[in-house]
Structure 1
Amino acid sequence: MPEGTDIRATNTKLKAIETWIADQPETDHITTTAGKGLQRFMLTYAPEKSYAAYGEITTRVHNYEELNSLMERFREYLDATFPEINYKLKQIELGPGGGAKIEARIIGSDPTVLRGIASQVMDIMYADPGAYNIRHDWRERTQVLEPIFNESQARRYGITKSDVDDVLMMSFSGKNVGLYRDGTTLMPIVARLPDEERVDIRNIEGMMIWSPALSEFIPFQQVTQGYDTRWEDPIIVRKNRKRMLTIMADPDLLGEETAATLQKRLQPQIEAIELPPGYSLEWGGEYESSGDAQESLFQTMPLGYLFMFLITIFLFNAVKEALIVWLTVPLAVIGVTTGLLALNTPFGFMALLGFLSLSGMLLKNGIVLLDQIEIEMKSGKEPYLAVVDAALSRVRPVCMAAITTILGMILCCRIFSLSQWQ
């Protein structure tokens, strides 16, 4: 919902959307929150911050194979029924989660300039048909009604600006006046006017404020000299004590394009924007998280591979056999490339982990194969026949190990898919 929307209006829209989802045959369970995200129920789930205009509906389906058709109908329903809503469809991910797939961060000092640059970035994203869920984390500016404090008049009544602030808080949002302790639970005690008296902003004209000098309540208008309306930024995000505005986008969840492909298309256009002095651009999202994970992995990987190479030398008591085994590792690229192309999956962090695991399996099979070749040669066979017979004898064990590993991973992925979908 637009920033500044009352949480009750947000809840009303959520109830209507929840009713539509509950009527769909694919739906198994629904959890709805208004004003913030769910509690963190799994590691890869990143709860949203508290916003009165934010709502979240988490849905579990009977069969995950029907999920795409449900999301497609849901998108059409939202576009037709609630065009004012800025929504995002997302599946729970088995990997780094939270935020958007593509994030462009603008860092600078002036909020107006930051919003101007963000508008240029968003225009580029809107022009790309593959970019969805385009937004930024500062959201819309909100209009504020600010009473103009009459300091000279208020001094006569013994009223300070903090007294005025307290009256306004109690009349509208509420003021914390204490804590209620229930065992180990602390709950705030909030004092505010009844709901029907604080919904309408026009009630400010009839407000009363306590005057210590007169020992009685006086009209609130006697300590103000009119009202000023202005637009303000309700949310200002900072990084390293500098203002930072993040523009976010995602590829089509129901399409086949990856975030890396979309970013590769958007990045040159966005980086071509001329930034004023003192302003900078940096990339976040999947680009940053994948880079950080790979950087952390590559810091320790060379040392690990060195130890593995030394172990293979100790096993054969020779460098030649160890080199032969390690020369088979690059051949894993053939299988990895074929699998990723067949499944239309990007080479991300999870694929990198799979490649490293596959290299370990290749080393294991190579060590066992060389040991079997040596046994065949000791039995009196020619080197060529020894290699052929050793390879044939290892085909079934290697295939059985690979098949059982694949079946085990498929079972794990299917259990995850059936139990958790958002």
Structure 2
Amino acid sequence: AVDLFQIKFLVAVLVVMAVSILAIGFRAGLVVGIAIPVTIGLTFLLMKITGINLDRITLGALIIALGLLVDDAIIAIEMMIVKMEEGWERVRAASHAWSVTAAPMLFGTLVTVAGFVPIGFAQSGVGEYAGNIFWVMAFALLVSWLVAVTFTPYLGVKLLPSYTQHQAGDIYQTRFYQYLRGVVNTCVRYRKTVVLSTLMLLILSGVGMATLVQKQFFPGSDRPEVLIDINLPQGSAIGTTEATVKRLEAILETLPEVKSLSSYIGAGAPRFFISANPEQPDPAFAKIIAIGHDAGARDRIMAEMNRHLEAGEFPEARVRVTRLLFGPPVIWPVSFRVLGPDTEVLRSIAHEVRNLMAAHPNTVMPHLEWDERTPAYYLDMDPDRLRLMGLTPTEVAQQLAFQLNGFNVTDVRQDVRSVQVIARSAREGGLLPEALELKTADGRKVALSQLGELSIRYEDPVIKRYNREPFLAVHADVQGAQPPDVTHAIWADMQSLLAELPPGYRIDIGGSVEQSGKADSSIQKLQPLMLALMLIFIMLQMRSFTGTFVVIATAPLGLVGAVAALLLFNQPFGFTALLGLIGLSGILMRNTMILAQQVQDNFDSGMQAG
């Protein structure tokens, strides 16, 4: 997958280089094209020194930075071309590009890097997963600035052709510049209308982002693995679970799309991917990982397995067929936690929650995380009988453990590893409690029923706790919609149930909404630092409150185009889109700083506003 990502990255680099050549000419485009691999090479060197690997996250950061890398070089080389067309000598034009653009480009770069500070230092799963984005962006953009203000002007001196000298201002008399001047003059003449229209578009975009754009935490992975979770009723024997797994394996083995197959019975698979959360040991649980030849084969495997499940071929188990997701682990996309002291009340409330989830058209397989009660034998020992037989409760427990599950007799240690040695009775097959016999201190055999009263009771095989409080989760998959949208819709339908909850009971939102909230919270804690750094860098460059306000005011304008694009192409707004929006805001502020500096230089040279 990373190899494919590298190919896409190289294609993006080649496309950018080709567009640069077409836009500003062959030699000027060649200068820009040379600057790109130089910048990327130095960035790779810094990544190697700091121990940052090349993976999806770092490659994604480089793709985000790619537009900025090109922008730096283009600004420097175009400044040279303009001055050379005005008759300046090459070296003087190159030094002018440094003196005019170096400072605003540097502070603009620092502003863009500061926008990624919350992601780089977030104390959450998102920070762990995507924190390297900040460092790679910082390396790439700072190296890009250094290359743009030193190496690019040097290449311009060596490679740029000679340009026809024009009188000052002649180069701005072309049809394109005349049209652009007309647009700018119109905007300035009707500036109140333009400002109000821009504000209206920004407000509409904000409303559209909040109401119309689908929300997403992290996108699905294109890895070829198919994950099949098998859950039998609690208390099922591991042999029963294995029988169900073998039937599923028999279906998978007939599919030509399956490249390899692995089954894990009684526990989850090892954590081979960051979003794959290993399940706890459970005889009633199994996991199958089928690897397809590619993403298309994976989808066909999933479709075939779902067809068998919809046909009702595995009524004894709850079988879930999924694929991997990017980002921190989110086991179930839609989830609610019912918390309270009494498990019976929890179960009653959870069933109502499940009914509400089942009523939503986009939920799949809503269920309670633990629901079934399992039968258990209880032995109420008679102290008088134990004393007469010379046994203690501890000895009875040890002998029963030896015959049923095994008894830990010692540990075998090698270096830091330790393996338990379990001793267990050699008797095979099921053992009825009535048939169990224990030995007294003098070697006599005593039937278990003689030690007290045997009874069967139903109990919860597992009770999960959240912050030491019992809870029962209700989960569901989603199809045809985004998990946050489905979660919020169900939550709205749940308001009457929430109002009727007994004292001491509550319902919390889990799943992707909870994980997204944790990520947002960890990022928001660092946003004051981000804003402070941005303000410092902008004010150091602009040296005025008015200029600082102008730069900051352009930052959210990228939302207008982003919302329009998301709605046009029916794409959700998730973490990856957030990264792009942060990068876009940085580009807007940086370009505004450079433009404002150029305008100020024009005023200082005596140029009139008109």
Secondary structure class of the residue paired with 1:333: helix
Is the alpha carbon distance of 1:381 and 1:173 closer, same or farther for their aligned partners in structure 2, counting shifts above 3 Å? same
TM-score, structure 2 as length reference:
0.58
2:562 maps to: 336
User: Which consecutive residues of structure 1, in runs of 5 or more, have no partner in the other structure?
Assistant: 385-422
Q: How does 1:23-422 map to 2 (within 5 A)?
A: 23-80=254-311, 81-194=313-426, 197-202=427-432, 204-212=433-441, 214-225=442-453, 227-252=454-479, 255=480, 257-273=481-497, 274-373=500-599, 383=609
Shift of 1:359: 1.2
CA distance in 2, matches of 1:335, 1:353: 15
Query: Would the aligned equivalents of 2:464 and 2:471 in 1 still touch at CA under 8 Å?
Result: yes
- SS in structure 1 at match of 2:525: helix
- TM-superposed CA distance for 1:163, in Å, is 2.3
* Inter-partner Cα distance in structure 2 for 1:349 and 1:294: 10
Which structure is higher in helix share? 2
Distance 1:222-1:64 versus aligned 2 partners, 3 A rule? same
- Structure with bigger strand share is 1
One-letter code of the match for 1:18?
E
Counterpart residue identity of residue 578, structure 2: L
- d(CA) in 2 for partners of 1:219 and 1:57? 43
Write the letter of the residue equivalent to 1:60: I
* Secondary structure of 1:272's aligned partner: helix
- The residue identity in structure 1 corresponding to 2:435 is G
Asked whether the 8 Å contact 1:30–1:60 carries over to 2, the reply is: yes
Letter in 1 for 2:259: D
1:101-126 per-position Cα deviation (integer Å, ceiling 9, x unaligned): 22211111111111111111111112
* Aligned-partner SS, 1:189: strand
Please list the CA deviations of residues 48-98 of structure 1 after superposition, one character each: whole Å capped at 9, or x if unmatched. Answer: 111111111223322213433331221111233212221223322211213
8 A Cα contact 1:139 1:235, kept in partner: no
Amino acid at match of 1:341: L
2:526 alignment partner, SS class: helix
Residue identity opposite 2:536 in structure 1: L
Aligned length: 376
Separation in structure 2 between the aligned mates of residue 7 and residue 312 of structure 1, nearest angstrom: 64
Query: Structure 1 counterpart of 2:505, which letter?
Result: Y
- In the other structure, the counterpart of 1:388 is none
SS at match of 1:277: coil
Give me the CA root mean square deviation.
Answer: 2.4
Contact 1:171 1:198 survives alignment (8 Å) = no
The C-alpha deviation readout for 1:336-369, integer Å capped at 9, x for no partner, is 2133334534333443333223211222233334
Q: Name which one, 1 or 2, has greater alpha-carbon Rg.
A: 2
Please say if residues 265 and 283 of structure 2, whose CA atoms lie closer than 8 Å, have aligned partners that are also in contact: yes
The aligned residue for residue 250 of structure 2 is 19
Structure 1 residue 374: Cα displacement = 5.3
Code of the residue aligned with 1:222 in structure 2: it is Q
The sequence identity of aligned pairs, in percent, is 28
- Determine the C-alpha separation between the residues in 2 that align with 1:306 and 1:182: 54
> Is the Cα contact below 8 Å between 1:154 and 1:160 reproduced in 2?
yes
What TM-score do the two structures reach when normalised by structure 1?
A: 0.81
Structure 2: segments with no counterpart, 5+ residues: 1-231
